[in-house]
Structure 1
């Protein structure tokens, strides 16, 4: 009996610290991408991008719906990103504002390209800023002088692709997000690239990309300039940068189809 009690007490002693450790607590899930933002007056909110409904939906921290904003997107364009949810970043009132990006797919006789547009809208859906061609954006807080919105405008209709940088002074500052996360991209799908570094061939795995889907590899150099856009064989989960005539160095690789595009991945090509 004493041995039984001894074993029981020992087990309880060992289990006690484990049961006292905090564990991840499931809160809910959504069908579209979302993120948290800290608003100047309303505190933390969760917002998501509903592509099909062309909406930005904003939830309280407990995930109860707070506001729904209907976006102004022309026909045959598709929503690709929503970022920088705020109250006083883009104007001086206490309403909600945010930046969103949509794109158009343009088919040519031999290939295709995307046309992007960046907009800033308020909670009524009114457009505060519209930049045709804007596809990649950053916000930089400037000490005692508001913030700067940097929009990179790309023209993919010709090769080599051109890029223009536009800078806008904003009246407020972005709250609650480290500077290295204050970016907005037009990418939609994540991809895994391996091996990396490689002496030429990079394998990739893209969730949601059908094997029969025709794809293109888009390659940027270290400065962000598009230097190559080449078809990828159907069903082939490999990209051979060496066969494209590129020297050893650091590049950024993205894969595109008519329905999706991946995030840029940093890859290192070695001898």
Structure 2
């Protein structure tokens, strides 16, 4: 017998900007929800106005966590100070482990049209914060999509759904990252590992859980359980279901550095200023 997950609380996205002025909606990393262990930040960017995104995210450092960039629409060029470079296009994903530190930029490669996607920050356990940086650049063609014949579909970026396994690997926190489309009037039950913290972010239409609706632009934090059932409304709904094993460790953050103590933060700043990233 499954233990169904229900909604613990709803979090509205807050309009803000980051990088060189990119306009976005922040769902994790606000005063209302500073974090959701192991997730440190969740941003949604969506605009067809070039002024909202063209300045991009020039060179900036990271240490102690991972960034997950999921492009729904548009093109984003990534470069770092170690000579790595890649291009994210519509539907592609990058799971970047910053680890001991790097300096990178994320710049739009288009001057017009829709730029839409998400960036998630995932904390690293204490024992992995100083590991070597690593990239998983995943083309949309390599991400499995499971359809059920009723108009519902599940894009499996990380974790498992049915017989499909997402291409992201080697992540300690056993993450689940699904992009789900729910047809009008349909329902869908999705297993979620018990004990994982889980969220649902609706970015098209609306869906319900246990009779409680989640409107577009809102995120639901879920109670514990081993499955969640989604109910569709009068129009298609599309949303992210993300879950991860909590670390239950101290979190000390200073801008782009996330460590376990203030002393480690001071060392990160010192290393960055000394050119050691």
Q: Given the two structures, how large is their TM-score scaled by the length of structure 2?
A: 0.28
Higher relative contact order (CA 8 A, sep 6+): 2
Higher Rg of the two aligned structures:
1
Q: Given the two structures, how large is their TM-score scaled by the length of structure 1?
A: 0.28
